[in-house]
Amino acid sequence: MERKIFDVTMSIREKMISWPGDGPVHVQRIKSMIDGDRLNLSRLDMSAHTGTHIDAPVHFLEAGTGIDTVSLDLLMGPAVLVHLPGVKEIGAYQLKNAGIPAGTERLLLKTDNSALLDKGTFDEKFTFLTLDGARYLVDKHVRLVGIDYLSVAQYGMGDGVHQELLREEIVIIEGLDLREVVPGIYQMTALPLKIAGCDGAPARVILTT
């Protein structure tokens, strides 16, 4: 079977959706060959949690570690993608009935959020993982969870879910673009920028069959 490669990373660009309060994303050309410079050079101004990104423990844990300490072993390997259409709150019940194979360590959640990615504005009513759902993943020894919007947790009420996962050193990937990917098992590579001590970083995430 021919190998297929899916880039499930949001493109970083001007006017893309961003978390309220994080500020807009700016990609500014500060040198331009069209203007007579000998090269093109751009400057980026954005939150560490822009687009497809990975949260570090220190994002919600005062004594947590930075993004540069996240285990590469967790960021590379088999990942199970499940589709949860019509689900608003992903709790233990929804996860139990999602067909997740026993022993799954890396879990990617494709939801109705995928339809929100092309909106020009942030949507507060995205699908999210509940605290009950987070505890279920801890109990099942999941080591990484990813979702297709800018947060894994409910807007304005995300502390508990993040803390539950990050306390157990469960990697959180947010802002995945899963629109072109069907449920199944993939080989995943998810590499955040290595920013010393930072609470998160944009990442390039690739799935292969």
At 120 the pLDDT is 84
At 63 the pLDDT is 95
> Which ranges of the chain have pLDDT less than 50?
none
How far is residue 145's CA from residue 173's CA, in Å, rounded to a whole number?
6
At 74 the pLDDT is 97
The answer to whether 54 and 171 have CB atoms below 8 angstroms apart is yes
Residue range 123-132, pLDDT digits in tens: 999 999 999 9
pTM of the model as a whole: 0.96
Enumerate residues 6+ apart whose C-beta is below 8 A from 88: 112, 127
At 188 the pLDDT is 98
How far is residue 156's CA from residue 128's CA, in Å, rounded to a whole number?
11
Residues with catalytic function = 59
